[in-house]
Amino acid sequence: MFDITPEIEEVLKYTDLVLLDIKHIDSDKCKELVGFSNEKELAFARYLNEKNIPVWIRQVLVPGITDAEEDLLKLKHFLQTLNNVQKVEVLPYHSMGKYKWASLGAQYELEDVPYATAEDVKRAKCILGVE
């Protein structure tokens, strides 16, 4: 399911910190959101933990998609299994990159999704037990 290539191993020898985005903690919801499951990214997080490579976890908070309490608690429990997490960032969703989709002639799937507010981020951080 998850293979670390010799090239990746070589790069990780010189890596002081990995910024790892977890698109969605639920595999099925992740597949619905981005088109593929989260199995490889979670396996990579476990691999980084085994190798004791420091990581910052980044979770984009998308209202109605990644902000359910049950999913945030699932993320919290997953992160508690890792000893190498130095920081958890909750990044509020915005559509600043929307123009890139338009320039590619692609449909922006999150067109009607509201931005995450400061209160949304505060709530998520509280559930995750960070900051």
Please count the helices (runs of H) and the strands (runs of E) in the chain.
Answer: 6, 3
Residue 40 in any domain: the answer is yes
CATH number for 90? 3.20.20.70
Residue 2 in any domain: the answer is no
Residue 3 in any domain: the answer is no
Give SS3 for 88: strand
Residue 6 in any domain: the answer is no
Residue 28 in any domain: the answer is yes
CA angle 45, 92, 95 (to 5 degrees): 110
What's the pLDDT tens digit per position in 62-110? Answer: 999 999 999 999 999 999 999 999 999 999 998 777 778 778 888 888 8
pLDDT given for residue 103 in this prediction: 85
Q: What number is the average pLDDT over the span 4-24?
A: 95
Proportion of the chain above pLDDT 90, given as a percent: 76
Residue 55 near residue 82, CB atoms below 8 Å = yes
Q: Please tell me the distance from the alpha carbon of residue 73 to that of residue 128, in angstroms, as a whole number.
A: 6
Residue 10 in any domain: the answer is no
CA angle 60, 20, 34 (to 5 degrees): 55
Domain residue limits at 52: 17-128
pLDDT given for residue 108 in this prediction: 80
> Residue 45: which of 90, 2, 91 has the closest Cα?
2
pLDDT given for residue 83 in this prediction: 98
Residue 96 in any domain: the answer is yes
What is the DSSP-derived secondary structure letter of residue 93?
A: P
CA angle 119, 122, 124 (to 5 degrees): 110
Query: Can you tell me which residue has the tokens 């709530």?
Result: 123
CA angle 111, 125, 123 (to 5 degrees): 65
Phi, psi (deg, nearest 5) at residue 30: -65, -45
- Please tell me the total count of domains within the chain: 1
Residue 50 in any domain: the answer is yes
Higher pLDDT, 26 or 104: 26
Q: What number is the average pLDDT over the span 26-51?
A: 94
